[in-house]
Amino acid sequence: MENMFLDPMVEENFSVFMMKKPDSKVGIEQGEELLKHLNKMNVKYATVDLGYTELKDFHETRLAELLKKADIPYFTTELPHYVKGYFATEIQEIKNTLSELKGTYDGLKNKNAPSAQELKLLIDRYSTDLRDLDSHITQTIRPDAVVKKIVQLQKGHEDAKWTVLHFGEENTFVEVVKKLKEEGVKINVVFMDISKFL
């Protein structure tokens, strides 16, 4: 457990803790020890950002098993159906197009020819589109869903001193903290990198 402790990040209205990154995935024993340690912080529940994972698949994961063993109720946040449908399809189409363009470009002998330069511009444009889409989902849609769930769960307990564990992708944490602050959430939040528990 030496390499698994929390970094406190003091905020104005509530305390935020970030799990320091362990070197590898968190095993069952390590996870049990960590959750036991965290229960001293009056953990009431956990939220889990499923991203593109389906709920039925999540129930079979190591993390779901750990939360059940620790008797910590968990609530999941999923990407809205339009994101899983429309955006997932669009992202896959862009990736496929990029792959084709890169394959064609890599096969060219003269990379300075006008046609090669045009291909390079297209690759750059599709790469930017992919980054923008990913950024929109990561920085807006997913944090909104997480914060909405946490706010919903704390209703009626706004003055209580308790803790929520949030399991999600690290690249969403800053935006989630910002939005929790905007919502005036006063509970403690412990962020855990979900990739270390699956």
Residues 25-75 pLDDT 10s? 887 888 888 888 887 888 889 999 988 788 888 888 889 999 999 999 999
- The whole-angstrom distance between residue 118's C-alpha and the CA centroid of its chain comes to 36
In which domain, by residue range, is 87 found?
A: 82-133
- pLDDT higher than 90, residue 106: yes
* Exposed / middle / buried, residue 147 (Cβ in 10 Å: 0-12, 13-18, 19+): buried
Residues 10 and 74 in one domain: yes
- Residue ranges of the alpha helices (H) in 12-75? 28-38, 55-58, 62-69
* For range 83-105, the mean pLDDT: 88
Residues 14 and 32 in one domain: yes
pLDDT value of position 12: 57
What's the structural domain count of the chain? 2
What is residue 45's three-state secondary structure? strand
The secondary structure element, H or E, covering residue 193 is strand 188-193
Of 170 and 22, more confident: 170
The secondary structure element, H or E, covering residue 48 is strand 43-51
- pLDDT higher than 70, residue 110: yes
Residues 74 and 168 in one domain: yes
Residues 14 and 70 in one domain: yes
pLDDT value of position 143: 92
> Does the predicted TM-score (pTM) go above 0.75?
yes
Strand partners, 8: 17
Residues 26 and 124 in one domain: no
Residues 70 and 160 in one domain: yes
Residues 70 and 87 in one domain: no
Residues 17 and 75 in one domain: yes
Residues 66 and 89 in one domain: no
CATH number where 73 lies: 3.40.1010.20
Residues 14 and 75 in one domain: yes
- pLDDT higher than 70, residue 136: yes
* Cα Rg of the chain, angstroms: 21
Of 161 and 75, more confident: 75
Is residue 33 situated within a structural domain? yes
Is residue 66 situated within a structural domain? yes
Two tokens at 146?
A: 């997480």
pLDDT level of residue 101 (50, 70, 90 thresholds): very high
Is residue 187 situated within a structural domain? yes
Residues 60 and 10 in one domain: yes
Average confidence score pLDDT of the chain: 84
Is residue 138 situated within a structural domain? no
What is residue 165's three-state secondary structure? strand
Q: How far apart are CA 125 and CA 103, in angstroms?
A: 16
pLDDT level of residue 2 (50, 70, 90 thresholds): very low
